[in-house]
């Protein structure tokens, strides 16, 4: 590949900025100073910028603990997006969230520039499971769990796939329930609409797991980190 693309892929700058760096004779491939941005290099070449060895990485994978009030988009004219939480040095080309969490939904969100993996995780035929924890206005009981397990029909007559609903605790005085729910679809406002269909309301919603990837509980809201090699391998098996 061309040296300017190599350096752009590792987020060293824009094409114009990289051309300027090359013109300043700051780029070396093996022992040769590069003056032409069109020079071809392979991934076995040792590329240096200012004598620092540059390791090539095409795809990047970040786990974000999404906070409330941030939208799952790459850009917006009025609201903060999840990309606004990413440091400039990590904002690689084509980085985007995999799927969407509502503005007021928190928890696990994967960001990557690996379009194929994103497609695989979101493809309806893959049925990648997603686990959420929610506080519900209403008393969730075994009958509710059975209804979810059979597959709800929403108010607009949308038929949903079976979902696994687990009751963690119930406060009868407040008429609130803490639950976990696993779904294998990603319909618009799905969890909120599911509880609306049984006369209840979601007060808080947090995603804990997507496929084989589990939210790192040490990440505070708004924090992120790269996936480990083990996490990435498990995610690709989802």
- For residue range 41-57, list pLDDT tens digits in order: 988 889 999 989 998 88
At 73, list the tokens: 């988009």
Counting every residue written for the chain, the total comes to: 238
What was the pLDDT predicted at 125? Answer: 83
Q: Does this chain's domain 3-54 share its CATH topology with 129-210?
A: no
Q: Which CATH number fits domain 3-54: 3.10.290.10, 2.30.42.10, 2.60.40.10, 3.30.420.40?
A: 3.10.290.10
Catalytic residues: 102
> Which CATH class for the 61-124+215-236 domain?
alpha beta
Per-residue model confidence as pLDDT tens digits over 124-171: 888 899 999 999 999 999 999 999 999 999 989 999 999 999 999 999
Residue among 75, 128, 72, 144 nearest 105 (CA): 72
The structure tokens 């114009």 sit at 16
| Domain ranges (residues) in the chain | 3-54, 61-124+215-236, 129-210
User: pTM of the entire structure?
Assistant: 0.85
User: What CATH code is assigned to 129-210?
Assistant: 3.30.70.1560
How large is the average pLDDT for residues 84-99?
93
Helix, strand, coil percent content, the chain, rounded in steps of 5: 25, 30, 45
């Amino acid at each position: 590949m061309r040296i300017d693309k190599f350096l752009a892929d590792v987020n060293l700058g824009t094409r114009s900025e990289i051309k300027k760096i090359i013109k300043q004779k700051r780029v070396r491939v093996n022992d040769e100073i590069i003056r032409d941005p069109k020079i071809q290099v392979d991934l076995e070449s040792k590329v240096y910028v200012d004598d620092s060895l540059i390791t090539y990485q095409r795809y990047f994978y970040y786990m974000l603990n999404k906070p409330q009030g941030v939208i799952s988009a790459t850009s917006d004219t009025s609201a903060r997006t999840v990309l606004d939480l990413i440091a400039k040095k990590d904002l690689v080309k084509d980085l985007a969230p995999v799927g969407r969490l509502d503005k007021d939904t928190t928890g696990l969100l994967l960001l990557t520039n690996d379009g194929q993996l994103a497609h695989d995780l979101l493809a309806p035929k893959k049925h990648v499971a997603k686990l959420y924890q929610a506080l519900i206005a209403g008393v969730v009981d075994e009958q509710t769990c059975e209804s979810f397990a059979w597959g709800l029909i929403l108010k607009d007559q949308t038929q949903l796939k079976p979902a696994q609903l687990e009751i963690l605790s119930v406060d009868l005085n407040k008429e609130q329930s803490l639950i976990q729910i696993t779904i294998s679809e990603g319909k618009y406002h799905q969890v909120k609409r599911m509880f609306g269909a049984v006369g209840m309301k979601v007060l808080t919603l947090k995603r804990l797991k997507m496929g084989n990837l589990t939210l790192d509980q040490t990440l505070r809201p708004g924090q992120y980190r790269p996936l480990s090699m083990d996490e990435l391998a498990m995610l690709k098996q989802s």
